[in-house]
């Protein structure tokens, strides 16, 4: 009995697959006229039975026949309705992309760009202004590799629209060192071996520089909390925390 049930279920699955295949073939054949002519063609298709199916007009209609015809008719009217609605609505108009004339200060120097309104600050820095030091990691604001400063505060440039920095001061990793001398954080990162591959290091340094200006406790746990938005996939957290703690302690 169990084998018979499994065999019947398998036959139903095969029948449903065959019905779906027939539906897709008819959609390809009729194309735009699908909504008008598909039901007529489906009636003809349903009347052409396979040898193993009994006469649909008799009392011996099987579940396979019901499944097959239900899928064909339901799919025909659904696709036909969608197609008719799309034809009536016509093609969607393509909105013109709004452009913005942007002027701001980048690492102490004036910067100008004409950008699309949807451009992120990260893409503008890397692709438009040739500042590749700011890295694109997750592009979802979760890893911190794209951290820069806007108006003296650290922000995630991948989530910041470039148009919002109009007239503001933007600082990136390229501007952290001044007059050929490394920033104390950069020196401390080297001393404590606070990086391995270096991909996240620009974001770590910019986030740490922003942390220096924020109210934060002096303990290593406070530093970890303040830097929790920056991920190091190499696991150099011990060196990062030690370097930041050293600079913060020396600045007191």
CATH number at residue 216: 1.10.150.120
> What size, in residues, is the chain?
252
Instruction: Write out pLDDT tens, residues 68-82.
Output: 666 666 665 565 555
| 3-state class (DSSP) for residue 214 | coil
Which helix (H) or strand (E) segment holds residue 96: the answer is none
Segments forming the whole domain that contains residue 233: 179-252
Q: Which of 175, 194, 220 is the endpoint of a domain?
A: 175
Statement: residue 8 has pLDDT above 60: no
In this structure, are residues 115 and 99 in contact, taking their beta carbons and an 8 Å threshold?
yes
The total number of structural domains that make up the chain: 3
Residues 85, 11: one domain?
yes
d(CA 207, CA 195): 14
pTM, two decimal places = 0.63
Instruction: Write out pLDDT tens, residues 135-144.
Output: 999 999 999 9
Q: At what angle do helices 237-251 and 184-191 cross, to 10 degrees?
A: 140
Residues 249, 223: one domain?
yes
């Amino acid at each position: 009995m169990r084998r018979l049930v499994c065999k019947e279920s398998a036959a139903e699955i095969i029948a449903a697959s065959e019905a779906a295949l027939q539906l897709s073939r008819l959609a390809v054949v009729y194309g735009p006229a699908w909504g008008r002519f598909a039901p007529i063609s489906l009636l003809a298709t349903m009347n052409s039975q396979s040898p193993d199916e009994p006469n649909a007009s008799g009392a011996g209609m099987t579940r396979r026949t019901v499944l097959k015809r239900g899928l064909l008719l339901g799919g025909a009217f659904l696709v036909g309705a969608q197609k008719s609605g799309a034809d009536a609505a016509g093609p969607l108009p393509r909105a013109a992309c709004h452009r913005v004339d942007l002027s701001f200060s980048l690492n102490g120097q004036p910067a100008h760009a004409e950008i699309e309104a949807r451009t992120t600050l990260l893409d503008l820095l890397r692709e438009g202004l040739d500042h590749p030091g700011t890295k694109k990691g997750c592009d979802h604001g979760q890893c911190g590799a794209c951290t820069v400063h806007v108006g003296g505060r650290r922000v995630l440039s991948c989530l910041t629209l470039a148009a919002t920095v109009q007239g503001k001061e933007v600082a990136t990793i390229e501007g952290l060192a001044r007059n050929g001398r490394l920033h104390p954080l950069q020196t401390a990162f080297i001393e404590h071996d606070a990086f391995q591959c270096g991909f996240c290091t620009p974001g770590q340094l910019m986030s740490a520089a922003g942390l220096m200006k924020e109210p934060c406790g002096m303990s290593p746990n406070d530093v970890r909390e303040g830097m929790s938005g920056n991920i190091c996939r190499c696991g150099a957290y011990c060196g990062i925390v030690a370097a930041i703690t050293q600079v913060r302690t020396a600045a007191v």
